[in-house]
Structure 1
Amino acid sequence: MAESLPLPAAPSPSEYLRAALRSPVYEVAEVTPLQKMEKLSARLGNQVLVKREDRQPVHSFKLRGAYAMMASLTEEQKAHGVVTASAGNHAQGVALSATRLGMTSLIVMPVSTADIKVDAVRRFGGQALLYGANFDEAKAKAIELAREQNYTFVPPFDHPAVIAGQGTLAMELLQQDAHLDRIFVPVGGGGLAAGVAVVIKHLMPQIQVIGVEAEDSACLCAALKAGHPVDLARVGLFAEGVAVKRIGDETFRLCRDYLDDVITVDSDAICAAVKDLFEDVRAIAEPAGALALAGMKKYIQLHNIQGERLAHVLSGANMNFHGLRYVSERCELGEQREALMAVTIPERKGSFLTFCQLLGGRAVTEFNYRYADGDNACIFVGVRLTRGHEEREEIISLLHQGGYQVVDLSDDEMAKTHVRYMVGGRPSKPIRERLYSFEFPESQGALLKFLHTLGTHWNISLFHYRSHGTDYGRVLAGFELPEQDAEFERHLRELGYECHDETRNPAFRFFLAG
């Protein structure tokens, strides 16, 4: 077994490079392919290359950093074993690394963790302990157990040995293609981005390294703005592999000093990138795994990049199968290949035909309608696009010229998540109604807590639930109550679920409100 030397608290670039060169990760990890994406390259006018970290034994790059740190432990530390907290790829990396190194491993996972992930940890030889309602509670328990049982806590990203282990990916990239112009790397806690950036910029500073964050988990952007790591008020969980509230101290130092740029993308863009990867190389990436490609596509568009060699890291493929439903629904919007609109049309025979004729032969992807009154009908319609945002604006202008009232819902999250599945339901009598969107924990008792806290005090006039294979479900709920109700607001705070008032949302006003 190769020796892995301990690193100081804040290593220099040359120390990180030496650690990456001497890293023993290949005792367990694979050299993953750098594969050309032929279809996307032709479409984008650049040579697009994907680094296939989904080909690792645990289907994620996390194995590199976990093994690098654990191999550097003393014999006494190895004898006591390790503990970590994770609901995803880091958990599997630690479990497999411990088994290969002859150590025991305890993985603390939130109680809502999907069975497929718990089973994977156990399959790789780790002991899984389900504890806490979320990652923060699981992490606190893991640190407590480390103190009590003398385990070594293995952090997922903020440790020099972990960062150096992730830096081995950069070494492979340079050996596989030394003529790259830019490398796009996903950012969660920053371990991979830091490791890749410090190695690349030390060896070949002319290659740009771009970090990509999910818009709803952009802890690096927040830290760069503040000048130091800060806690996000909340993080989105669709790309759960990068759903990190606070970037690490050492990873922030390296990302700040060595990344050339950082870009953020939304969930729809990530869904479109998942589809690109499947269509081009038949890989099924998890959302966080497709994050770097989503960022690359946006960066190309923003900076009009043509004729370059661009690599991105497919960082993981531990996809919850049920999450593919959401990806399939949203990828067309992410590619700007579909427009969603609310259109008011006359309530008479032939109206739909006239409307479609005005669209000029464009394909209608969705048409939701229910009779409301004898004069006008409000339809929820999807139209397939071939030229993105420009064509969307053309269609709206065309409909306005044809005398139709149109509201563009393509960027309306509530319309895309809930209303498109609920069109046609209005109350039979006028009611005073307020609408809220909630994030429900995917755990036993979440609905009962909601009903006990709110449902026994106020009449629930509307309820719609959508699960997307993450730790939270999306809920839309209406209540009969006046504009201002201090008691209701107090109960909302007592409930403690993330929520937003959607009463004035245009999709609700068009299709569901009384």
Structure 2
Amino acid sequence: MVAPPDAPVTRPFVPPVNAADVNAARELLRGVVRTTPVAGARALSELTGTPVHLKCENLQRTGSFKIRGAYTRIARLTPGERAGGVVAASAGNHAQGVALAARLLGVRATVYMPERAALPKVDATRGYGAEVVLTGESVDEAVEAATAAARDTGAVLVHPFDHPDVIAGQGTVGLEILDQVPDVGTVLVSAGGGGLLGGIAAVLREHRPATRIVGVQAAGAAAWPSSLAAGRPMPLAAMRTMADGIAVGRPGEITFPQVAGLVDELVTVSEDALSGALVHCLERAKLVVEPAGAAPIAALMEHPGRWPGPVVAVLSGGNVDPLVLLQVVRQSLVASSRYLTLHVQVQDRPGALAELLSRVGSLGANVTDVAHSRISGALPVGEVDVELSLETRGSEHRDVIVEGLRAAGHAVA
């Protein structure tokens, strides 16, 4: 049927990167990247009421998916471009991907990283052979420095997400998901700049259009919701999150239409949820995952039953700073009441502290630290304050301990 002359012409959406581009990248990456495993997740399956699978890009070369896009981009440079070297900017994962890809292809690489980038990621990048320059407070500032260096030296900028070759390379994760879980109902993907999310979406939207595609951001660094609402990439005024791998202040000019046109939903998760997800991966899946990589798990744990299954959660990386891991584990233990601090008032007499500790032990708690103070304006005469640090079995056990101490006549706070 021919439309009337005055009818508006509607054209189908054409993404910057399509499934054919991703298939071509897959051929380029054969023998370079690993086909990472998909692991079952029984605890998450029980929680959500649908099968959940973990796509383990934390087990990829360099510890994340980033080698896929970096190698695709550098491998397609002309001989003259390769001779001039490459520059890149990253908080760590893209840096390592570029460093290894450049080494494999015999190209000189300089990587700009934020001054507070995790030391293990900096050392690993240097270990792969790249020169590292520390600059700025964020990935966005490092990108500005790398862009200026590319302009001044003639080196090629390998952007962490905003290039069709990078998006196509990252999208090969989606092809593997289709091979491994062909009936996938939902894919949850961490969203920083949008390269991985947009690449996977290109594959799924063409080959399995009914699959729901969900991006996950840290609430403290969520540039996508406001950008999608505005219809264009919008910068964040500030960011604060432990998930440095997805702390990107502005979506890319290429990734924005890719994600906006193909992805079904963007959700955000809290820092506590990220902590809990990371610890869940350690305890239940036996996998080391960085906070950015654990974001899809955090979304599943915060919204069980929200998405149709089978669900595939992409664990995008495992390059976590041990100091961050220590802090996250402690924070998660506190949030789940498995690590507990109590202030208990006892009589100031010989043996009172020993009786208190004996009672705590009888309630099944493990005492890790004790602080005993007689000096406080809030204490009644003849009473002392005892600060107890305890290991418990969770919130129900915490309540048993507190009620048991109160039943014995102690004031507990």
Q: Same fold (TM over 0.5)?
A: yes
Deviation at 1:393, TM superposition (A): 9.0
SS at match of 1:106: strand
- Cα drift, residue 57 of structure 1: 1.5
Kindly provide the CA deviation profile for residues 148-174 of structure 1, in whole angstroms up to 9, marking residues without a partner as x: 111111110122221111111111101
Unaligned runs of 5+ in 1: 1-9, 408-514
Work out whether 1:219 is the aligned partner of 2:223: yes
Equivalents in 1 of 2:340, 2:322: separation in Å? 26
Q: What letter is aligned with 2:132? A: A
The equivalent residue for 1:330 is: 331
Equivalent in the alignment of 1:313: 314
Give the corresponding residue for 1:140: 144
Matched, 1:276 2:266: no
Equivalent residue runs for 1:46-61 within 5 Å: 46-61=50-65
- Trace 1:417-456 onto structure 2 (pairs within 5 A): none
Q: Which residue of 1 aligns with 2:252?
A: 248
How many Å apart are 1:385 and its aligned residue? Answer: 6.0
Give SS of 2:53's match: strand
Structure-2 separation of matches of 1:369 and 1:106: 51
Does 2:82 match 1:78? Answer: yes
Find the aligned partners of 1:257 and 1:400 in 2 and give their Cα distance.
58
Residues in 1 aligned to 2:412 and 2:211: alpha-carbon distance in whole angstroms: 46
The 1:110–1:262 alpha-carbon spacing in structure 2 relative to 1, beyond 3 Å, is: closer
Could you tell me how far 1:103 is from its partner in structure 2? 1.9
1:208 aligns with 2:189: no
| Residues in 2 aligned to 1:116 and 1:55: alpha-carbon distance in whole angstroms | 16
Asked if the contact 1:40–1:276 (Cα under 8 Å) also holds between the matched residues in 2, the reply is no
Structure 1 length-normalised TM? 0.66
Q: Which residue of 2 aligns with 1:436?
A: none
CA apart distance, 1:283: 2.0
Cα 1:139–1:385, aligned 2, differ >3 Å: closer, same or farther?
A: same
Deviations 1:376-429, CA, capped at 9 Å, x for gaps: 6485776846568xx98999999999999887xxxxxxxxxxxxxxxxxxxxxx
**Matched-pair contact (CA < 8 Å) for 1:210–1:259:** yes
2:340–2:390 Cα contact (<8 Å) kept: yes
Q: Which of 154-163 and 167-176 deviates more?
A: 154-163
| Distance 1:395-1:227 versus aligned 2 partners, 3 A rule | farther
Instruction: State the one-letter code of the partner of 2:19.
Output: L
**Which of 313-322 and 166-175 deviates more?**
313-322
Match of 2:178, as an amino acid? L
Q: 1:333-482 maps to which residues of 2 (within 5 A)?
A: 333-334=334-335, 336-338=336-338, 345=345, 361=363, 363=365, 369-371=371-373, 372-373=375-376, 374-375=379-380, 377=385, 384=392, 386=394
Q: 1:12 aligns with which of 6, 14, 19?
A: 14
Percent identity reads 33
Shift in alpha-carbon separation, 1:37–1:116, aligned structure 2, 3 A: same
Task: Name which of structure 1's ranges 250-259 and 82-91 shifts more when overlaid on structure 2.
Answer: 250-259
The aligned amino acid for 2:235 is: D
**1:288: Cα distance to partner?**
1.3
| Aligned pair partner of 2:193 in 189, 205, 214 | 189
Q: Would you say how many aligned residue pairs link Structure 1 and Structure 2?
A: 392
User: Which letter does structure 2 place at the counterpart of 1:28?
Assistant: V
Task: Assess if the C-alpha contact under 8 Å between 1:238 and 1:267 holds in 2.
Answer: yes
Q: Which amino acid aligns with 1:327?
A: V
- Structure 2: how far apart are the matches of 1:15 and 1:130? 32
Distance 1:339 1:120 in 2: 33
The whole-number CA distance in structure 2 between the counterparts of 1:403 and 1:225 is: 56
State the Cα distance separating 1:129 from its structure 2 match: 2.9
Query: What is the SS of the residue equivalent to 1:58?
Result: helix
Report the CA distance between 1:89 and its aligned residue. Answer: 0.7
Q: 1:108 to 1:368 in 2, by over 3 A?
A: same
Secondary structure of the structure 1 residue equivalent to 2:104: helix
Residue of structure 2 equivalent to 1:91: 95
**Which string of whole-angstrom CA distances, capped at 9 and with x for unpartnered residues, describes residues 233-259 of structure 1?**
222242111111222233222323322
The structural deviation recorded for 1:134 is: 4.7
Name structure 2 gaps, 5 residues minimum: 1-11
Note closer, same or farther for the CA distance 1:228–1:193 as it changes in structure 2 (3 Å cut): same
Indicate if the aligned counterparts of 2:365 and 2:392 stay in contact, CA closer than 8 A. yes
Q: Secondary structure at the match of 2:304?
A: helix
Match of 1:259 among 257, 260, 263: 263
State the distance in 2 between where 1:243 and 1:134 align: 8
Pairwise CA distance, 1:337: 4.7
* Residues 29 and 228 of structure 1, relative CA distance in 2, 3 Å threshold: same
Residue 212 of structure 1 contacts residue 292 of structure 1 at CA under 8 Å; is this kept in 2? yes
Give the stretch that moved more between structures: 103-112 or 179-188: 103-112
Displacement of 1:346: 6.2
Tell me which residue corresponds to 2:130: 126
> 1:13 touches 1:202 (CA, 8 Å); kept in 2?
no
Q: Which residue of 2 aligns with 1:21?
A: 23
- Alpha-carbon RMSD across the aligned residues, in angstroms, is 3.6
8 Å Cα contact 1:33/1:52 also seen in 2: yes
Stretch of structure 1 that moved more, 214-223 or 53-62: 214-223
C-alpha contact 1:339 1:392 (8 A) present in aligned 2: no
Aligned equivalent of 2:107:
103
Q: Give the corresponding residue for 1:450.
A: none
Match of 1:31 among 17, 35, 60: 35
Q: For 1:312, what is the secondary structure of its paired residue?
A: strand
Change in 2 beyond 3 A, CA 1:402/1:220: farther
User: 2:17·2:167 contact (CA, 8 Å) conserved in 1?
Assistant: no
Contact 1:268–1:333 at 8 Å: present in 2 too? no
Output one character per residue of 1:251-303: Cα deviation in whole Å (capped at 9) or x when no partner.
222323322222222223222222222233432112212222112221216x3
Distance 2:189 2:71 in 1: 20
Secondary structure, counterpart of 2:144 in structure 1: helix
Q: Which is worse superposed, 132-141 or 177-186?
A: 132-141
What secondary structure does 1:249 align onto? coil
